[in-house]
Chain A
């Protein structure tokens, strides 16, 4: 029996010594291949007596099994070592910087973001969005809005005019978003609940005035909306927009040609910390918007009977409320397309203002 023991010892030694899969394969062939040492032993069984075969056969088969298992175990060890060696060789410097995702670099202009914020708030109250042309007729910009002849706004120092056409009519760049009020009334029967964001133009230029700026206007027309409803809407809007729990607002009687009664609205705030305005606290007043009940003449211009229909309208500077909320110091920068300004004050494209997710991050 010692020949088997010897063979086994010698094979197991060879298996353990095999340094790679090729060497191990050679050992396997030399042992278990057609002419392998173990295979040769198995071939000797045929010439044996049954008794001899029984004991000798079992011993040889046991040897075969043991060698096979040793080969398999060694193979696993060698494969793991090879993989580990490859992986080690494949190591990369993961501290090398990768490029940021485009969506992380891109920015939405504050005006677009604010319009989306306002849309989210008013959509919830059943408003839709109306738009109108920047180039307006004198009729829609002034006459239909009850501006009397000779009103200062109709003069060149305030309003951008185009050259008169062959009929002598001068188009204007709209000075407010209010022309859309009348255009909407002409096109749609009440109840009307719209907001009108858009570009507006006036002959003005300094840190808080720009020849081109943005307004958002609201209009409600039905058979019973009154100043009380307007107060509610505007207070709810300011709370939602400035994202504070409460606001104190002051409605002051004022004057606009297209509303009667008219109001200017101040919001209580804290301006003690310089350019940062905090709403919902403080003792300062800041004028934030103008509003009023739609003037009977404007309802008439829209084809509505002021004894049957009534409603209210309000308007405010979009750029201005953007500056108040987000702290840009100078209006002129809004239109300068400086990439540093856009990157800093702009909004990430996936930060979509919603009521369910909050207006701002």
Chain B
């Protein structure tokens, strides 16, 4: 919403300057977004051409001597055809920035003649497009004074960023009312128009709608015998200042009413209207050529005003070209109507039309001003264009029921902490147009003015009192502290989420945040893509489906990095994946991938590679270590964690694993990827990855005490024994470890695999797995017999469960 300071002062009696006005506007909730104090026009002065001689060496140029009132004329070279002795115009001296040509003047030399300034055209001053000649003012224009003051260009322009709840401030008058209520001045009361009405308006208005809310009122008046020339300079100046182009008096009046009173009006050339006006829904496919000279195809969701010719206007949004007013208009029909805000918003949006009328109707135009608005418009028409108004026709309007709100004054203190006296609260409300109907010193009944559709309840009234009294008066007051030290505030899942992130980052991985929505084919590839997770209006075709997994986003991100030359990438994300559209189907997953040689030890080639195992491509075991690191960091008892061969379809079937807690609960997958997955994602390189489902992890058991179990340190020496078993290739190491461990759960405290070997010497399809068994006696030193027995049991267990044999 734009307006000028002088326009505001037409409604507001105040001594406040621009800065004070702007400060107050922002303070009461009308945020000033932009102020143009028109300082750019200040350097231009009114000057008189004393003499105009032909330029000695240029036919089209003249050499002017220009007087700025100090009796010391300056020499200016000028090419304007209307430059002549005696002309009074606007002079820019060297050093002045000329906005229309974006140039800061310097002393010039034009074909050998010095020029000490420039006589400007309107275009050079950005006042209009007129560049036919330099500004030609009346002879009595005060030479030597500021041109901007004379031309009214010194009127500062203010733009406020209006919140959608304040239709009353889509008008200069409404803004003045708010400022007056805040004590910045006095609101000037408009005089009631005195019209001498003659005859009837010969056109009927028929509201033909299934829902009367779509057009709750329509007033129409004919004014006969108008003369529609240009509007007066004062009106043009204001319209131009806020960026509107003056067209003709009738149209300018409607625009003026829109901004001055927040009351969009429409004028029809009565001669072009055939028959009566019907307010109805548009027919499907019906077309109208609108005032913006574009043709719109309409649907029944849009309400139009039609006559026997067809659609003449899109109600509340834009008039039609056919019945528009021009300089030939003699009889004019003035429309003041009410429209449904929601329907205006929808229609405007679907038609793609943004107008000042729509802006106001979709916020809500004061219903009680429908008739006064028509009266005021008629007054302006008669004043500026002459003519005789006829009696108005009104259809549909049933009056406005004011909302009544019970308001205990104590609400202000309760909700804001402010102490505002009852007297002041009453004054503020009255100043804003609220009427206190009844009540006492503690509670009153307040009637809400018709221009404030946003006020419904007492909290709204608190806001009114607070914003006018001044938000700055609210003292910050500490929130009472709890009387005890805080207990733990994070949930287990929140703690695990944070822990997983820090654990993975401390394994050299970088945390990424990738899109929650991914392309459909990728979603399908990772078990997603169901219809309930598909966006109806994705921002791009490849951001269409909620991700079922973190992996596609991470894999494609790794490829993007690789394409830039960063191929050794270790990245992770801890975030949501989606199995359905209900809250319980949103998972919390820690996922990560490693590409190239980005292992825990470090990426790339190093002189120490050979010794420390670096430089080789990442594989399933890197991913497994990452996944287990997350689980371990989350505090799960690792003894209950099992790893099984194989994973979901997007992994390499022989190089992937499933991590479980107990027999049923899957808490993670890891592995290298299926070549089909990689080619479908269009990614390449050595890649491995994992996902751990943080939300699937069970809550830790509640402990009765924080005391750790007593530590029992055995006095007897811990002993290590090595075994190697030859087994079928398909036998997994896990089962050997399990079998060995179960030989004596008390004595055996650990089993490590220290060698895996495959070779022809072992026979076709065989491998050797060597384990080291840690034996910790607790009550006595073991004898040779004890060891023999234990060894037999270990070997027996492993051979029985795996079908292998002890390697000789």
When distances are taken between beta carbons in the complex, the residues of chain A under 8 Å from B477 are 226, 228-229, 231-232
User: Is the CB of B536 closer than 8 A to any CB of chain A?
Assistant: yes
B510, A107: Cβ atoms closer than 8 Å: yes
- A109/B578 in contact, CB under 8 A: no
Residues of A within 8 A of B476 (CB): 228, 231-232, 235
- Residue in A98, A105, A336 whose CB lies within 8 Å of B508: A105
| A229 in contact with B342 (CB, 8 Å) | no
Q: Which residues of A contact B612 (CB under 8 A)?
A: 99
B512 touches A254 (CB 8 A): no
Interface centre among B418, B471, B489, B490 (most CB of A within 10 A): B489
Given contact pairs A201-B516, A226-B417, A255-B163, A99 touches B506 in the complex (Cβ within 8 A): no
User: Is the beta-carbon distance between B502 and A108 smaller than 8 angstroms?
Assistant: yes
Residues of B within 8 A of A125 (CB): 479, 481
* B232 in the interface (beta carbon within 8 A): no
* Contact between chains at A226 and B416 (CB < 8 Å): yes
**Within the complex, what minimum Cβ distance (angstroms) separates A166 from chain B?**
10
* Chain-B contact segment, one of A15-23, A43-51, A77-85, A257-265: A257-265
Docked-complex contact B501 and A112, CB < 8 angstroms: yes
Contact (Cβ within 8 A) A126 B506 = no
* Chain B residues near A105 (CB-CB < 8 A): 508, 602
- In the bound complex, what is the Cα–Cα distance between A264 and B31 (angstroms)? 10
- Output the nearest chain B residue to A164 by Cβ-Cβ distance: B536
Assess whether B608 is interfacial by the CB under 8 Å rule.
Answer: yes
Q: Which residues of chain B are within 8 angstroms of A264 by Cβ–Cβ distance?
A: 31
Contact between B415 and A226, CB atoms less than 8 A apart: yes
Chain A-chain B contacts (Cβ-Cβ < 8 Å), number? 258
Residues of the A chain whose Cβ atoms lie less than 8 Å from the Cβ of B581: 135, 162, 171
- Are B537 and A261 in contact, with the CB atoms below 8 A? no
Interchain CB contact under 8 A, A128 and B466: no
Within 369-413 of B, Cβ neighbours of A (below 8 Å) are at: 413
Across-interface contacts of A128 in B (CB, < 8 A):
489-490
Chain B residues whose C-beta falls within 8 Å of the C-beta of A295 in the assembled complex: 459
A106 close to B (CB within 8 Å): yes
Report the minimum CB–CB distance from A301 to chain B (whole Å). 14
A116 to B415: give the CA distance in the assembly, Å: 31
Please tell me if B219 contacts chain A, counting CB pairs below 8 Å.
Answer: no
B478 in the interface (beta carbon within 8 A):
yes
A233 to B480, alpha carbons, bound, how many Å? 11
- Contact (Cβ within 8 A) A227 B531: no
Q: Please, what's the 1-or-0 string for A220-249, where 1 marks a CB less than 8 Å from any CB in chain B? A: 100011111101110100000000000000
Whether A106 contacts B510 by the Cβ 8 Å rule is yes
Asked if A155 is at the interface of the complex by the 8 Å CB criterion, the answer is: yes
Judge if A2 is at the interface, Cβ distance under 8 Å.
Answer: no
From B28, B507, B511, B543, contact of A211 by CB (8 A):
B543
Partner among B345, B508, B569, B578 whose Cβ is within 8 Å of the Cβ of A106: B508
A255 touches B535 (CB 8 A): no
In the complex, what distance in Å separates the CA atom of A262 from the CA atom of B476? 16
The stretch among B123-131, B288-296, B553-561 that forms the contact with chain A is: B553-561
Closest CB-CB distance, B714 to chain A, in whole Å?
A: 35
Do A338 and B561 form a contact, CB below 8 Å, given A226-B417, A232-B477?
yes
Q: Please tell me the number of chain B residues within 8 Å of chain A, measured between CB atoms.
A: 97
Instruction: Give the CA-CA distance A107 to B505 in the complex, in Å.
Output: 5
Are A129 and B489 in touch, CB under 8 angstroms? Answer: yes
Chain A CB within 10 A, most for which of B345, B414, B502, B614: B502
CA distance A203 to B536 in the complex (A): 12
Pick the interface stretch among A3-11, A55-63, A64-72, A346-354. A346-354
Task: Indicate whether A112 sits within 8 Å of B511 (C-beta atoms), given known contacts A231-B476, A337-B560.
Answer: yes
Are A261 and B459 closer than 8 Å at their CB atoms? Answer: yes
Contact with B along A150-186 (1 / 0, CB 8 A): 1010011100111111000011010000000000000
Closest A residue by C-beta to B417 = A228
Cβ–Cβ < 8 Å partners of B534 in chain A: 162-163
Which positions 323-345 of chain B face chain A at CB distance < 8 Å?
Answer: 341-342, 345
Given A108-B502, A338-B560, answer yes or no on A205-B569 (Cβ-Cβ < 8 Å): no
Nearest to A135 among chain B residues (CB) is B581
Min CB–CB distance B506 → chain A (angstroms): 4
Contacts A99-B608, A253-B29, A264-B31 given; does A337 touch B508 at CB 8 Å: no
Tell me which residues across on chain A come within 8 A of B602, comparing CB atoms.
99-100, 102, 105
Let me know if A352 and B502 touch, CB within 8 A: yes
Tell me the bound Cα distance from A308 to B536 in angstroms: 41
Name the one of A107, A253, A339, A342 contacting B466, with C-beta atoms under 8 angstroms. Answer: A253
Q: Which residues of A contact B616 (CB under 8 A)?
A: none
Inter-chain contact A132/B537, CB cutoff 8 Å: no
Chain B residues with CB under 8 A of A226: 413-417, 477
Q: Is the CB of B535 within 8 A of A161?
A: yes
Do the beta carbons of B474 and A135 come within 8 Å of each other?
no
Q: Which A residues are in CB contact (< 8 Å) with B341?
A: 150
In the bound assembly, the distance between CA atoms of A165 and B533 in angstroms comes to: 11
Using CB atoms, name the residue of chain B closest to A122: B489
Q: Which residues on the A side are within 8 Å of B564 (C-beta)?
A: 338
Task: Indicate which residue in B415, B517, B535 contacts A261 across the interface (CB closer than 8 Å).
Answer: B415
**B504-536 vs A: 1/0 string, CB under 8 Å?**
111111111111110000000000000111111
- Using CB atoms, name the residue of chain B closest to A155: B349
Which B residue's beta carbon lies closest to that of A199?
B516
The reply to whether A157 and B349 contact each other, CB–CB distance below 8 Å, is yes
Give Cα A107–Cα B502 distance, bound, in whole angstroms: 8
Complex Cα spacing A232 to B486, Å: 20
Given A123-B486, A253-B463, A346-B414 contact (CB < 8 Å): no
Residues of chain B within 8 A (CB-CB) of A203 are: 537, 539
B209 at the interface (CB under 8 A from A): no
Q: Does B707 contact A (CB under 8 A)?
A: no
Whether B466 contacts A126 by the Cβ 8 Å rule is no
B494 within 8 A of A: yes
A296 at the interface (CB under 8 A from B): yes
A261-B462 contact given A127-B489, A340-B566, CB 8 Å threshold: yes
CB pair B576–A199 under 8 Å, yes or no, is yes
Let me know if B414 and A310 touch, CB within 8 A: yes
A105, chain B: closest CB distance, angstroms: 4
Contacting pair B415 A293 (CB below 8 A) = yes
Listed residue (B459, B478, B491, B498) with the most chain A CB atoms within 10 angstroms of its CB: B459
With A133-B583, A339-B566, A350-B506 already in contact, the answer to whether A109 and B512 are too (CB < 8 A) is yes
Q: Which residue of A lies closest to B463 (CB)?
A: A261
B442 within 8 A of partner (CB): no
Q: Which residues of B contact A343 (CB under 8 A)?
A: 510
- Can you give 21 contacting A-B residue pairs, CB < 8 Å? A99-B601, A99-B614, A105-B508, A108-B511, A109-B512, A133-B583, A134-B576, A156-B537, A157-B349, A160-B535, A162-B532, A173-B535, A203-B539, A205-B539, A228-B476, A231-B475, A296-B457, A310-B414, A340-B566, A349-B503, A349-B506
Interface residues of B (CB under 8 A from A): 26-29, 31, 163-166, 341-342, 345-346, 349, 413-418, 454, 457, 459-460, 462-463, 466-467, 471-472, 474-479, 481-482, 486, 489-491, 494, 498, 501-517, 531-539, 543, 546, 553-554, 557, 560-561, 564, 566, 569, 571, 574-576, 578, 581-583, 586, 600-602, 606-608, 612, 614
Q: What is A's interface to B at a CB cutoff of 8 Å?
A: 96-100, 102-103, 105-109, 111-112, 116, 119, 123-129, 131-135, 149-150, 152, 155-157, 160-165, 170-171, 173, 199, 201, 203, 205, 211-212, 220, 224-229, 231-233, 235, 251-255, 260-264, 293, 295-296, 306, 310, 334-340, 342-343, 346, 348-350, 352
Seed contacts A96-B607, A134-B578, A155-B349; 6 additional CB < 8 Å A-B pairs: A150-B346, A252-B26, A252-B27, A337-B512, A342-B510, A346-B510
